[in-house]
């Protein structure tokens, strides 16, 4: 039997995502009520610019006082899509204190202070759901928190930022340079006016922290995630990857150590073989691989950003929180019982593609090979090509076997000291093999 008293929802933020959430709540009201077991009512919308016209939203619901809205006491669920650390953190904890469950899309806050938010939710017996914080519409958080709760996840590998994937895809398919591809992404609305959070890897690092924490039942903060962006990726890197039968992607990689005693979380560009499913993820799409002991390899694919996809994830969480509210229950909270340390990047073992500018004369390859040997880094393949350069330079590309990142750093430092090495053109990790 459906409950007649509506569940009241407060919406914090009414930008691209928030306005789409409000629209779906209105147009799909009957379906949402049937799925929840009670009608849902938009009780207030907190914004910064009240004068802006918001189609489909009753102006009487608009307020600039977000604190007063979440303190009302009759609000059942607060949807937070304003982003940033403050005032979002204070508003969420205030919502818990006044009896509301929370649905958030705030990856930055969750990656920075998720454990404190979970603790506040548990203290007050409230829900904290955040499917929309990672990979837009792709169901990923809930499968990790619930569907795989009985399994042991060892690795999460994926493309979790649509802007960077679009840029790298355009560089690969059209031969464009980084700046040209970024300009196209901006013109099409895939990149913000200030794209720093995306292209420098901050967005992906926040998502990696969230995913690692859930997957490995431990606390991982964004500051513990190794982060490199794509601003240094060149057309030459893309071409070199193509010669190896690879493409370049910005990857978020979360791994449990082989001995199970630690975890790593990192974001950086990497070459992956064209045969790998992630290589075919085009334009602004996202895809994530999850490797679990019993389930094996699982792949999640779809649009990772945008108003409608993100709103879809928000509404899915809204249904779950409302159902819990009616049943006087709460969903899964934080699971951080393993308390595993997060290892630094120097402890990560992977392969490397290193491009060197060297003197075009006999003996150079032997000198370079000696440096790798002295540092304990095994070479897989070497390709040397003369440029017919008036300065007598050649290109030397070395691909290693798997090695410690710290050992590779020592190798590069030693190579720079060789008189015959004129410069290190690029260093890129090789994944997915």
Q: Which residues are catalytic?
A: 207
Q: How far is CA 196 from the centre of its chain?
A: 14
Compute the distance between CA of residue 157 and CA of residue 250 in angstroms, rounded to an integer: 10
Q: Rounded CA gap, 146 and 220, in Å?
A: 19
Q: In what order do the strands lie in the sheet with 77-80?
A: 62-63, 40-46, 7-12, 77-80, 101-104, 128-129
**Nearest alpha carbon to residue 85 among 200, 202, 178:** 202
Is 42 in a helix, a strand, or coil? Answer: strand
97 Cβ neighbours under 8 A, 6+ residues apart = 120, 124
338: closest CA among 177, 154, 161? 154
The whole-angstrom separation of Cα 14 and Cα 61 is: 12
Task: Give me 331's structure tokens.
Answer: 């969903």
CA neighbours within 13 Å on the CB side: how many for 363?
A: 3
Element (H, E) at 329: none
């Amino acid at each position: 039997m459906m409950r007649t008293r509506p569940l009241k929802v407060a919406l914090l933020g009414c930008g691209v995502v928030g306005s789409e959430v409000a629209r779906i709540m209105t147009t799909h009201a009957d379906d949402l009520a049937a799925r929840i077991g009670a009608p849902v009512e938009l009780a207030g919308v907190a914004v910064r610019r009240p004068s802006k016209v918001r189609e489909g939203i009753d102006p009487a619901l608009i307020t600039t006082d977000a604190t007063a809205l979440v303190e009302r006491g009759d609000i059942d669920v607060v949807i937070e899509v304003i982003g940033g650390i403050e005032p979002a953190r204070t508003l969420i904890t205030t919502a818990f204190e006044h009896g509301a469950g929370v649905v958030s899309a705030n990856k930055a806050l969750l990656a920075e202070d998720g454990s404190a938010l979970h603790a506040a939710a548990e203290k007050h017996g409230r829900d904290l759901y955040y499917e929309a914080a990672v990979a837009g519409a792709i169901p990923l958080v809930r499968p990790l928190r619930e569907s795989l709760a009985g399994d042991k996840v060892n690795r999460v590998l994926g493309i979790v930022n649509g802007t960077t994937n679009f840029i790298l895809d355009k560089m690969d398919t059209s031969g464009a340079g980084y700046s040209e591809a970024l300009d196209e992404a901006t013109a099409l609305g895939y990149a913000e006016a200030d794209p720093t959070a995306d292209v420098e890897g901050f967005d992906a690092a926040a998502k990696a922290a969230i995913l690692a924490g859930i997957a490995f039942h431990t606390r991982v903060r964004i500051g513990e995630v190794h982060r490199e962006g794509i601003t240094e990726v060149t057309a030459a890197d893309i071409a070199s990857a193509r010669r190896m039968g690879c493409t370049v992607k910005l990857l978020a990689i979360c791994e449990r150590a082989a001995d199970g005693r630690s975890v790593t979380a990192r974001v950086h560009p990497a070459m992956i073989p064209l045969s790998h499913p992630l290589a075919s993820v085009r334009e602004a799409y996202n895809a994530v691989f999850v490797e679990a002991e019993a389930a094996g390899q699982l792949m999640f694919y779809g649009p990772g950003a945008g108003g409608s996809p993100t709103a879809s994830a928000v509404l899915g969480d809204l249904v779950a929180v409302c159902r819990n509210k009616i049943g006087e229950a709460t969903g899964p909270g934080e699971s951080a019982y393993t308390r595993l340390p997060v290892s630094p990047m120097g402890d990560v073992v992977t392969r490397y593609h290193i491009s060197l500018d060297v003197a075009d004369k006999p003996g150079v390859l032997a000198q370079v090979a000696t440096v790798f040997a002295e540092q304990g880094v095994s070479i897989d393949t070497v390709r040397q090509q003369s440029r017919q350069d008036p300065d007598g330079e050649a290109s030397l590309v070395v691909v290693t076997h798997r090695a410690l990142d710290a050992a590779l750093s020592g190798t590069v430092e030693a190579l720079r000291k060789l008189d015959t090495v004129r410069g290190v053109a690029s260093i890129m990790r090789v994944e997915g093999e």
